[in-house]
């Protein structure tokens, strides 16, 4: 995310986030994709108060995610990855700076409005799956949509999604009857039940072996192609980063470089 | 997708709550048990108390026109120095009253009764009365018109001593009767509130006593002629003109006193029952708090994927309410079962539930559900308020 809208090298650019130079360098891309962006941030700062001390988890970054993007956010722990993911997921709001969801400033949203926006726009894949142990795979996938009171439609869509992730024969299995990779696929299907534009995945391969991780990454590619979903993932895993279109390297609350861009033709969106 | 599922899907939070309740089975069961105890306590105290009341009140049945007159012992007054009525005083009562049967009772104390095997019946009393039929129904046997050399026993005496009509019992009192008597009749049970404590009494004909001192006088008033209140008042006024000598009380007012006492007792017991429901509510609050903390991550996921706070609250409150409903259902079943046993024991009919007995059970159930619902609110609110980011950490 956050590409520092410039070449990303200098801290000063980031700190100044919306500074002139970054804008000037990326202005054309920003404008061209701006209308399209699902979510974008400008000079986003997030500070936490921890016992009288103020910790700056994010020190002023810019980002933009467009349809079908696949962005990997990497960086050491404590670099602000989770904070960024929470902001992208509208689970948190920036201390200063602006985050826009489809052009609307999310800081103007009430808690309830953010909840609605999350439901309509964003799917979550959590690191430890967080499946309900007593519910079947199908019911877990349905869960985010259960409040809809359209059980038939929800069930159809959930079945379709589980088939889509290759678990059509495991609909009635409980989580403890599924392997790690299968659970992750259930979690991915769950993240898609509300037809989001953006899926946020926290260490999606963290608990999986390489082969299973491969299949998850392939699945992300397919979903991006077929469902038009953007994927932003936070990962320690270089392997995931390699698969991503863009890599955002977050260190100490600032974006250091975006080396993924070169490999992936850089184009469509910037981080 | 079956119909039931589609119905349940109309209230998705309830569906999810149901699943959650069956998740920590032992914990849910314990919380339910707490409600069961509370509901059973209230229901059983209410229904059982009602059965007990019915049982005791039956003692007053058909005694609407009856009053008892007791001497007031007054050391200053020579005429009533030993706390008994003399034959002359009883005659005076007969003259004073109209439409009234005046029946003196001999109650000498020091009663001693042996059953046919010769074993003493420790709780049995011996009383002299002209005609027990005036006050009591006969269960078995028959009291002869010329009742002189036999006895009539109360229901409890017959039961304890395994006494049947035709058996012989040995009866002795303090300086009065002493001898073996044939049992000619057993009286119907009247409960312990019965005047003269009939169930525990062996009635001996007055003529068997060589005495003219009566411990009590019973007035029975023909309602066609006068009222028992009026006749009792008349006796009291005439005997008490120079100070308190007699104390007359209608059975009706004894009944009222009894009912009042019962009411106080049962309110006290219901309050204890209510406290047990309060404890149940605390248990449920604790259960829900633990369960909410345990499922923090899961609730965080729900919040993250777009469940509003109120959906989380309604899910958790539905859970705690479900525990209450479960407890109430089991509790009502148990209260009905225990109540019918009590009914059988006390009234003789297991199904003798009264409206107020049912009301007590319904009250217990209602309070059980309500307590569970209220108990769930705080934990639910706390869980829903938790920020998803913190919950998912």
> What single string gives the DSSP state of each residue in chain A?
----SSSS--HHHHHTTT-HHHHHHHHHHHHHHHTT-SEEEEEEEEEEEETTEEEEEEEEEEEEE-TT-EEEEE--TTSSHHHHHHHHTTSS--SEEEEEETTEEGGGS-HHHHHHHHHHHEEEE-TT----TTS-HHHHHHGGGGGGS-HHHHHHHHHHHHHHTT-TT-TT--GGGS-HHHHHHHHHHHHTTT--SEEEEESTTTTS-HHHHHHHHHHHHHHHHHH--EEEEEES-HHHHHHSSEEEEEETTEEEE-THHHHTT--S---
- Confidence label for B82 from pLDDT (cuts 50, 70 and 90): low
Task: Using a CB–CB cutoff of 8 Å, tell me whether A197 touches chain B.
Answer: no
What percent of chain B shows pLDDT beyond 70?
A: 93
CB contact at 8 A, B67 and B218 = yes
DSSP B16-76: HHHHHHTTSHHHHHHHHHHHHHHHHHHHHHHHHHHHHHHHHHGGGTT-TTEEEEEEPP-TT
DSSP A160-172: HHHHHTT-TT-TT
Q: Look at A124 and B19 and tell me if their CB atoms are within 8 Å.
A: no
Interval B276-301 mean pLDDT: 89
**DSSP H/E element including B213:** strand B213-214
Task: Give the tens place of pLDDT for each residue, A179-191.
Answer: 988 998 999 999 9
Task: Give the tens place of pLDDT for each residue, B15-63.
Answer: 778 878 887 888 889 999 999 999 999 888 888 888 888 777 777 777 7
Task: Give the tens place of pLDDT for each residue, B183-217.
Answer: 999 988 876 566 678 888 999 998 888 788 888 89
Task: Give the tens place of pLDDT for each residue, B300-341.
Answer: 888 988 889 998 999 999 999 999 999 999 999 999 999 898
ipTM comes to 0.78
Structure confidence at residue B335 (pLDDT): 92
Chain A neighbors of B387, CB-CB under 8 A: 91
Structure confidence at residue A264 (pLDDT): 40
Q: Look at A144 and B388 and tell me if their CB atoms are within 8 Å.
A: no
Please tell me whether residue B169 adopts helix, strand or coil conformation.
strand
Q: How far is B351 from chain A, CA to nearest CA, in Å?
A: 43
In 3D, which of B60, B36, B26 has the Cα closest to residue B325?
B36
Structure confidence at residue A267 (pLDDT): 40
Q: What angle do CA A203, A120, A247 make, to 5 degrees?
A: 35
Structure confidence at residue A258 (pLDDT): 59
CB contact at 8 A, B220 and B66 = yes
Task: Give the tens place of pLDDT for each residue, B341-371.
Answer: 888 887 778 887 888 888 889 999 999 999 9
pLDDT values of chain A reduced to their tens digit, one per residue, 271 residues: 444 444 333 333 333 333 333 333 333 333 334 457 899 999 999 998 888 888 888 999 999 999 889 999 998 888 888 889 999 999 999 999 999 998 899 989 988 899 999 999 999 998 888 898 888 999 999 989 888 878 888 999 999 999 988 899 999 999 999 998 899 899 999 999 999 999 999 888 877 788 888 888 888 898 888 888 999 999 888 888 888 888 988 888 888 865 544 334 334 444 5
In 3D, which of A192, A190, A242 has the Cα closest to residue A213?
A242
pLDDT higher than 70, residue B7: no
Touching B: A residues 84-143, CB under 8 Å? 86, 89, 91-92, 111-112, 115-116, 118-120, 123-124, 126, 128, 130, 132-135, 143
Distance between CA atoms of A105 and A195, rounded to whole angstroms? 22
Q: Look at A115 and B9 and tell me if their CB atoms are within 8 Å.
A: no
Chain B neighbors of A119, CB-CB under 8 A: 305-306
Domains and CATH numbers, chain A: 11-263 (3.40.50.300)
Say which residue the tokens 């989001």 belong to.
Answer: A196
Q: Look at A151 and B9 and tell me if their CB atoms are within 8 Å.
A: yes
Structure confidence at residue A259 (pLDDT): 52
Q: Which two tokens stand for residue B389?
A: 């980011």
Structure confidence at residue A27 (pLDDT): 35
A22 burial (CB, 10 Å; 0-12 / 13-18 / 19+) is buried
């Amino acid at each position: 995310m956050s590409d520092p809208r410039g070449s990303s090298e200098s801290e000063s650019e980031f700190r100044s986030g919306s500074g002139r130079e970054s804008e000037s360098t990326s202005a054309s891309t920003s404008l061209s994709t701006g209308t399209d962006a699902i979510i974008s941030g400008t000079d986003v700062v997030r500070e936490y108060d921890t016992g009288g001390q103020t910790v700056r988890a994010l020190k002023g970054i810019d980002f933009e995610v467009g349809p079908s993007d696949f962005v990997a956010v990497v960086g050491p722990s404590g670099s602000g990855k989770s904070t960024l993911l929470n902001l992208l997921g509208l689970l948190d709001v920036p201390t200063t700076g602006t985050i826009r969801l489809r052009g609307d400033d999310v800081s103007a949203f009430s808690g309830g409005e953010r909840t609605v926006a999350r439901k309509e726009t964003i799917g979550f894949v959590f690191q430890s799956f967080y499946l309900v142990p007593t519910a079947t795979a199908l019911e877990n996938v349905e869960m985010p949509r259960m409040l809809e009171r359209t059980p038939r439609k929800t069930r159809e869509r959930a079945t379709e999604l589980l088939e889509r992730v290759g678990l059509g024969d495991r609909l009635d299995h409980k989580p403890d009857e599924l392997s790690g990779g299968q659970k992750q696929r259930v979690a991915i299907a769950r993240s898609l039940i509300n037809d989001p534009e953006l899926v946020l995945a926290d260490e999606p391969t963290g608990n999986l072996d390489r082969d299973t991780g491969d299949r998850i990454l392939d699945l992300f590619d397919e979903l991006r192609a077929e469902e038009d979903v953007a994927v932003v993932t936070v990962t320690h895993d270089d392997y995931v980063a390699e698969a991503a279109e863009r890599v955002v390297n977050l260190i100490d609350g600032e974006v250091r470089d975006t080396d993924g861009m070169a490999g992936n033709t850089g184009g469509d969106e910037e981080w | 997708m079956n119909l039931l599922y589609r119905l349940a899907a109309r209230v998705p939070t309830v569906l999810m709550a149901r699943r959650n309740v069956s998740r920590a089975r032992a914990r849910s069961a314990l919380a339910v048990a707490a409600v069961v105890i509370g509901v059973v306590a209230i229901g059983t105290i209410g229904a059982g108390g009602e059965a007990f009341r019915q049982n005791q009140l039956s003692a007053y049945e058909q005694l609407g026109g009856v009053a008892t007159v007791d001497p007031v012992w007054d050391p200053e007054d020579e005429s009533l120095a030993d706390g008994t009525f003399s034959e002359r005083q009883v005659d005076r009562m007969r003259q004073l009253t109209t439409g009234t049967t005046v029946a003196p009772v001999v109650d000498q104390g020091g009663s001693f009764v042996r059953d046919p095997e010769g074993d003493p019946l420790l709780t049995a009393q011996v009383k002299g009365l002209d005609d027990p039929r005036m006050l009591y129904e006969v269960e078995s046997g028959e009291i002869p018109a010329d009742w002189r050399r036999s006895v009539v026993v109360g229901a409890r005496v017959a039961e304890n001593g395994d006494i049947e009509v035709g058996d012989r019992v040995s009866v002795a009192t303090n300086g009065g009767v002493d001898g073996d008597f044939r049992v000619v009749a057993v009286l119907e049970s009247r409960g312990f509130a019965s005047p003269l404590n009939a169930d525990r009494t062996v009635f001996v004909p007055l003529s068997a006593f060589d005495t003219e001192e009566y411990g009590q006088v019973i007035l029975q008033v023909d309602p066609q002629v006068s009222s028992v209140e009026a006749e009792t008042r008349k006796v009291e006024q005439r005997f008490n003109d120079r100070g308190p000598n007699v104390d007359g009380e209608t059975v009706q007012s004894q009944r009222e006193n009894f009912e009042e006492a019962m009411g106080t007792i049962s309110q006290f017991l219901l309050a204890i029952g209510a406290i047990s429901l309060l404890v149940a509510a605390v248990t449920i609050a604790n259960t829900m708090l633990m369960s909410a903390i345990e499922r923090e991550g899961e609730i965080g996921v729900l919040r993250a994927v777009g469940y509003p706070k109120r959906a989380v609250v309604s899910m958790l409150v539905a859970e705690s309410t479900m525990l209450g409903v479960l407890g109430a259902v089991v509790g009502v079943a148990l209260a009905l079962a225990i109540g019918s046993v009590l009914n059988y024991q006390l009234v003789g009919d297991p199904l003798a539930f009264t409206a107020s007995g049912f009301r007590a059970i319904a009250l217990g159930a209602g309070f059980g559900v309500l307590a569970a619902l209220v108990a769930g609110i705080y934990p639910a609110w706390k869980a829903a308020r938790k920020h998803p980011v913190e919950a998912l950490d």
